[in-house]
Structure 1
Amino acid sequence: MATPNFDPSMQRKLEAPMPLIGMYVALASFACSVSLAADLIHGFRSNKFWFPSKYFSLNATSLTLLSVALKLPIDLTTNMTAVTDRLAKISSLALMSTAMANLVPSLGSMRDADILINVTALSIFIVTVVNDVCIQIVGTRSFLHHRVLLPEEILALILMLILLLVLGSTAVMVLTTKKCLETKYQERHNFAESQEFSDIGAAVVDKLRNLVNKYWVMAETSSPQFVITRSSACASAGVICLANALILAQAIVRAWVAHRSLGRTGSIYGCSTIWILLVQTIGVIFGTISTSFRWLTAVRFRCSVADGRSLSREFKVEDYWTRKLVEFQGSPISPLIRHRGCRRFLYTARGFIVDLLLRAQICVVLFNKLVLVISCCIAGAVINIIQMILSSSVDFSARQVGRDFLQSVRPNSLRLEGEADLPDYMLQSIPKQVDKVLEAARRQKPCSLINFLRDSSFKGVAEFDSLGVPSIHSKEPKNCWSLAVVTLTSIAAALPHIEKSKVDQLVEDVRDGLFFVKIVEESFYAKDEWKNIRKAADFWLRVDLFRKWQEIDLAEISCSSPNSQHALQKLARESEKIASALKTDVPDCPMFNPANWKPEIIAANSMYRISSTILDGCDEENAVTDEELFVRLSRMIADILAACLSNLGRVIDNKCRLKAIEERERSVCEAALLLGRSEEMLDFLLDRHLPAGLNPDYDAAYIEEWRSAMLLEIEVMSSDAITPTSCIGTASSEGRGSCYSSGAITLMEHLQRSFQARNLEF
């Protein structure tokens, strides 16, 4: 068969898009560099100089970006002999090594299954890169004397393989340490519960602040990322990453000295290789800074706690490095394999493979420890001198205060077995982070909302919806805080003859209040039965931005209505039409359950009931003006927000005690932010009396339970010749809460009692 003639024009057409592909590689490298820089900036801003992996972590996205960024080293067919092309290949390998060193701490924030999947995927990718580079070197061995910078390329490849071993070894360790840390955390958590809130005279807000401080220390010191960072594995990764950066720097300097230019490209990628080299070099610099700080963190930790330790203790391989492999070696064979010979072969083969892995794991751990010991010998003396100078500059009284402070912090710190106590400088930095977060949150407190809620009571919870309003359907959906607030605010925005500035101010206060309401509902309304009910409150966005409730223009109703009664009638009529479109008469139909109603139907049903309730009140009080009705609605909204936000203390408590170790640090930080923004509100909300019969441990989180308790209390008082209107008819702040003081306790008193009861349990 005749071989077709070679067509140069076809080859040129195939090579034409290669510069664009090179720019695509540069963009992927730029994304990796930006992620590395983001982690660096986040570490400096949060005063965490061990630089946790927040933006650049081991996942499908980072693996995809790295696979694109390493296009040049795995390209086996393109001739890349020019100096810039060779440097771009080395920078790609250097970026991969830097990325792997920065991915080591991120293993702590991943679940066990994700660790296994992602480390396996990364290992396959690295092995593929190494194979491609080796194939290229072997295939072009007769031309190696023309291949510049070959030693640097081989060294970068070797460092990348070593980092893969370190990362895999750390992954095995993390699977065990997370369980150890979880056990220690639960022990400390139980002890903390038995000791907390023993000071009966202290304010609950102060106790919540102490709670946040305590659990922040526990979460921070037991953070798997922090544990990895202060381990020998991170120190080893930092040294290797630094050596990798020096190799790249040496290659750039040598190329510059030899050719007096770094812009010589001869490949089909064109000038895009210059951009690839530039972007990847910047990424290597950012990543090396982070890993160098982590290396110094591990060195400072060992130098602070390991004085006088013997070499045998330094090179002891702790149980958590190998426990997972030992457990896997002794695990039973799957019962699905029935054949005895196959089971025996699998058991023997598995034992042989795991034994090899155990030996490799021990070798890697000993290598990490050796690197850490050598690092301490080189840098330890300098670090100790600096610490002595810094400590000598602090006066005696300050040191005494610092020691007293550490005595209260140290019992809450957690560490692995065999790991020495955390040094003072580490423990001192953690509470400072809490203070910084609280102070930043206090600057963001909603002052207008606080003033809006200050004169509120809880009476509006019983007023906004009347049992006398006939139902549209045979069943009524449940209510939630945000839905009631959004519906009332929509009605207030539709009232005529109200100054626009007052409506805008109310909307702003509700916007700030809904931020906290959503947090409360995320804690207590997380079940599926509340999903559509909470979504019904999402129509707030259109009310806020466009003054529209669903497709109804509230501003148009306000302008065209002669009085409030007319506006309320129109809202009730339009919402009834929307809600009536749902057919729920068939018991077998899923829509027979109100929890399955569409959000727009639930919102329309709420609008119909609340607008009809307010309209009935206006009919009874013909003298009410539009302005008075607006004030009354504003007071109802404030009362409902106050009742809802009285649960913020429980939300903060729940966030501090979150169980999942991967999310614990973030959750405690959210609790601190929430406390800083809401502590002034909690100061006066916790002094309010709860309705008699309301169980604060459960019922206080649900608006339906509030209404049931309050309506029952009103009914009891009515039977005692106290008229209901004396409790709910006026907007005056005088005597608020007096209707619910009989037999009731304040939230402050309840929290105190619950804290004491918790202590008695232990």
Structure 2
Amino acid sequence: MGKLECNIDGNLVDTKYSQPMPWMGLYAAVASLAFLISMTADVIQGIRYRKFWFPCKFSSLNATSLTLLAVAIKLSVDLNTSMPSRQDQLAKLSNTVFICTVMSNSMPSLGTMQNKEMFTNILALGILVITVIVNICIQLATGVIYVFWKEHAFILFNMLVLLLLLSFSALTVPNTKQYLELKYNKKHLLALKEGLNQTGKPVVDKLREDLMKYWMMAHTGSPQFVVGRSVTCTASGAFCLLSLATLAQAMLRSQLMPWSFKFCSGESDYKWSTTLVLATQTIAVVVGTIGPACRWFMAINFSYPNRGNQTGRKGFKVENYWIQSLVEMKESPLTFIRVRNKQCRKLVHDAKDLFLNLCIGAQIGLVLMSKWIRLISTLFVSWILYCCHCYQGLKKKFIFKSDADIESVSGSQPCIKLDLSRFVLDLEGEDALVEMMKKYNWGPTDYWFRKAEKRGPKYLITLLKNSTDGFKGVVEFDSNQVPSLETEEPPNCWALPVVTLTCIAAALPNINPTLVEELLCSVNEGLTYIRLLENNLDTREELLNIRRVAEGLWVRVELYRKWLDVDLHKLSLQGKTQQETLQKLSDNAKNKLLEFHKNHTPQCLKHGPSKWPIKILAANSMYRITQTLLLKRQGENAQMGNKLFETVAVMISDILGACLTNMQRFISVKCLNSAIEEREDSVRHAVDILGKAQKILKLQENVSFPDLDPCQMASIEEWRLFYMQMPLPSESETASSSSSDLHLIIDSN
């Protein structure tokens, strides 16, 4: 209970009520700063990934952003706190401009929402905006806002228009998604048909061409990009720019023309926090306008080549997809209303039809208004576009060094220019988009490919050159002759034997530390691809725990050189012979397995070996592999016994190489098995992987694989089963494949 403070007259003392106000202003500034950070992140990501229409990933419209927005506009909805000074009145104005900026900036995020989520977010935003408009009007009437009333009136109009643009644009998203999905399926079949006809082409070139096609389909069909290039989003960008210009002129006039304003003296209850809110929100408005302004300019650039046709009837046609949802709602009966009286039902349906007719009219009006804004904007900036086109023409004319010459100097392959216009997913009225995409949008895939090519796995490539033909190490690392300590063996994944063999290699004595370090680097690069392949191509539940074992083991090996509680570096220094080291690792693993089965009843083991604890699964893998290597050494002569490190490295190379034969299928799956909202990022990721792994794919072009179907190729158990049914190569053949020419050393100088 707080202390009750009354004066001598018995009235409540209210002098302390204003003390926390600066901290409330600071709270609003922090919320504005969160928006500033999210919008800055979107701008940086858009520039980084060359998405100059700036999709909304961090500053999307959702429950979190709406809550932060309600906090950030605290000053706008404060009805009775005196705001006398210049920065106080400007802070009120910056609040309303800030709302317009957030609405316009987050408009493309409508494409990522499901129908229910979109309805909830738009409804919540509408309630918030209407509340702000009413509160600002009250403040204008009561005199809390006594300057910049024209600016406030204009911003309130912008805010209301932006809310309508957002709401009615949301109605088109479900139908456009369905239409684009159907169109994508048709284009996908066309791409597959063309891919089947490309026989005799190198795998990397074929995949690269396919990815260009899939990128064009994914990018032009991205729901965010569809919303971002729409005429309503173009109009929202124009209104956002006007809001920024309104705030800028108010700030400049109040600073440079102080005689035209009469501000009151005194200080508001928010004190110093008002200036902080004003500064934060002004910066946020500037940064947040970058995305809408670029979308506005890009849409104008799309329509610029055909701007002469925009004044015709075709240019101002309202396409069917704008009103399709409303027409369908009008034609559908109200099944949720249970009214027995016929006249009442008739009245309800008439009211519904009247309301939807008004909505259809409003939608048509908004679309036509947006097209007029685009036309006026095009005419306004046409001279800028004309100068840009002239500059590009002069650049082509006077720069004599061709792209081919530059590429020959850099040593990279020339990009493959394809006619991708047939893979553009466009809507009705977007004819200009096809030509623009045909002209420009093959570039991003080539850019990402070249960028990824520079970050290829150099250590892994060196290791994979030592793989045997057919990757026989997949079966040789675990022999059937090893006596099993279990009634049932856990299944194998690709990563666990690689990690276990690497632990053994790191523990072997009398090995050059540089060789060990480079092997660890190679395995670290290889495990990155193994994780991708396992998580996307073989998603069996019984392998999830096995993969967690491999990941947990590898972290300790990479960072601490430890296998469970065994210090591998210390073991390599203490060991006198390689056989002794193998025996120590085998005994350690065997003891853990025996102790586990001694302390656990059969009821505890009923879930199967794949559910065993991490330490036991790791110990079982170590025991079987060390026993296999010990058996192998017993059958070899002394000369071969000194090359255990090379033998282990070749086994690791074979397992990695066999797993990476699934890379081509992974890239195809990455492009196809994704939702429409995620497809663009999936294709971009596939291009990145192809750029990094192209040398791996080229190494595998002349390697023989087992005759397995694609699903079997993704499982190491299927590989082992295939080879176990075949006669293994003789010891002399194995020895020749594991020759001493193990090129792991990279010049340390």
Relative to the length of structure 2, the TM-score reads: 0.88
* TM-superposition CA deviations, 1:171-227 (whole Å, max 9, x none): 111221111111111111111111124232321111111111121122222222222
CA contact (8 A) 1:98 1:287 kept: yes
User: What is the letter of the counterpart of residue 731 of structure 2?
Assistant: T
| Shift, 1:663, TM fit | 0.9
Contact 2:305 2:432 in 1 (8 A): no
Once the two structures are superposed, what CA deviation does each residue of 1:228-269 show, in whole Å capped at 9, x if it has no partner? 232211210111001101111122123222279999872222
| 1:362 alignment partner in structure 2 | 364
Counterpart in the other structure of 1:414: 425
Change (3 A) 1:74 1:553: farther
One-letter amino acid matched to 2:588? E
Instruction: Map residues 113-192 of structure 1 onto 2, 5 A cutoff.
Output: 113-138=116-141, 140=142, 143=143, 147-192=146-191
* Equivalent residue in structure 1 for 2:381, among 367, 379, 382: 379
Instruction: Tell me if 1:99 matches 2:102.
Output: yes
What's 1:752 paired with? none
124-133 or 577-586, larger mean C-alpha shift: 577-586
Structure 2: unaligned runs, 5 residues or longer: 405-414, 743-749
Once the two structures are superposed, residues 578-615 of structure 1 have per-residue CA deviations (whole angstroms, 9 ceiling, x without a partner) of 4452688757x684233433444333322222222223
Query: Residues 428 and 463 from structure 1, CA distance in 2 versus in 1: closer, same or farther, beyond 3 angstroms?
Result: same
Cα 1:393–1:625, aligned 2, differ >3 Å: closer, same or farther? closer
CA pair 281-565 structure 1, distance change in 2 beyond 3 A:
same
Instruction: Give how far 1:510 is off.
Output: 0.5
| Counterpart amino acid of residue 520 in structure 1 | L
Letter in 1 for 2:360: L
Counterpart in the other structure of 1:441: 452
Call closer, same or farther: CA 1:358–1:475 in 2, change over 3 Å: farther
Shift of 1:436: 1.1
With 589-598 and 51-60 compared, the bigger mean Cα shift is at 589-598
Q: CA deviation at 1:371?
A: 1.4
Give yes or no for the alignment of 1:531 onto 2:544. yes
Q: Kindly indicate whether residue 291 of structure 2 is the aligned counterpart of residue 279 of structure 1.
A: no
Q: d(CA) in 2 for partners of 1:154 and 1:586?
A: 78
Residues 122-521 of structure 1: matches in 2 within 5 Å? 122-138=125-141, 140=142, 143=143, 147-256=146-255, 257-258=257-258, 266-309=267-310, 311-331=312-332, 333=334, 350-380=352-382, 382-384=384-386, 386-387=388-389, 390-391=392-393, 394=396, 408-422=419-433, 424-457=435-468, 458-521=471-534
When residues 452 and 592 of structure 1 are mapped into structure 2, their CA distance, relative to the original with a 3 A threshold, is same
Identity over aligned pairs, percent: 38
Q: Is the 8 A contact 2:175 2:324 kept in 1?
A: yes
The answer on whether the counterparts of 1:487 and 1:607 sit within 8 Å (CA) in structure 2 is yes
| Alignment root-mean-square deviation, CA | 3.4
- Give me the whole-angstrom Cα distance separating, in 2, the residues matched to 1:678 and 1:453: 12
The CA deviation at 1:372 is: 1.5
Which of 93, 111, 114 is 1:111 aligned to? 114
Contact 1:111 1:662 in 2 (8 A): no
Residue equivalent to 1:746: none
Please give the alpha-carbon distance, in whole angstroms, between the structure 2 residues aligned to 1:17 and 1:624: 83
Once residues 632 and 22 of structure 1 are traced to their aligned partners in structure 2, the CA distance between those partners, rounded to angstroms, is 68
Structure 1 Cα separation of the partners of residues 523 and 654 of structure 2? 12
Instruction: Give 1:89's match in structure 2, choosing from 75, 92, 100.
Output: 92
What secondary structure is seen at the aligned counterpart in 2 of 1:422? helix
Contact 2:94 2:278 in 1 (8 A): yes
Aligned positions of 1:551-700 closer than 5 A: 551-580=565-594, 581=596, 586=602, 591-621=606-636, 623=638, 628-691=643-706, 694-700=707-713
Which stretches in structure 1 are left out of the alignment for 5+ residues? 718-722, 737-762
Letter matched to residue 271 of structure 1? W
Does 346-355 or 551-560 show the bigger shift? 346-355
Paired residue secondary structure (2:52): coil
1:480 deviates by 0.9
Whole-angstrom distance in 2 between the partners of 1:336 and 1:133: 38
Q: CA deviation at 1:379?
A: 2.7
The question of whether the paired residues in 1 share the 8 Å contact of 2:165 and 2:232 is answered with yes
Cα offsets for 1:619-651 (capped at 9, x unmatched): 444737885222211111111111111111111
Letter in 1 for 2:536: S
- CA offsets 1:699-748 (integer angstroms, 9 cap, x no match): 1111111111111112xx6xxxxx64345456535999xxxxxxxxxxxx
1:221–1:227 Cα contact (<8 Å) kept: yes
Q: Aligned letter for 1:86?
A: Q
Which residue of the partner structure matches residue 759 of structure 1? none
TM-aligned CA deviation for residue 430 of structure 1: 1.6
Cα distance per residue 1:448-487 (max 9 Å; x no partner) = 2111111212011011112233333322221111111111
CA distance in structure 2 between the partners assigned to 1:726 and 1:133 by the alignment: 88
Match of 2:738 among 732, 735, 738: 732
Q: From the superposition, tell whether residues 396 and 255 of structure 1 become closer, same or farther in structure 2 (CA, over 3 Å).
A: closer
Which 10-residue stretch deviates more, 3-12 or 44-53?
3-12
Letter of the structure 2 residue corresponding to residue 325 of structure 1: L
> d(CA) in 2 for partners of 1:710 and 1:263?
89
- Cα contact 1:496–1:626 (8 A) shared by 2: no
Is the 2:307–2:378 Cα contact (8 Å) retained in structure 1?
no
Contact 1:584–1:592 (Cα < 8 Å) also in 2: no
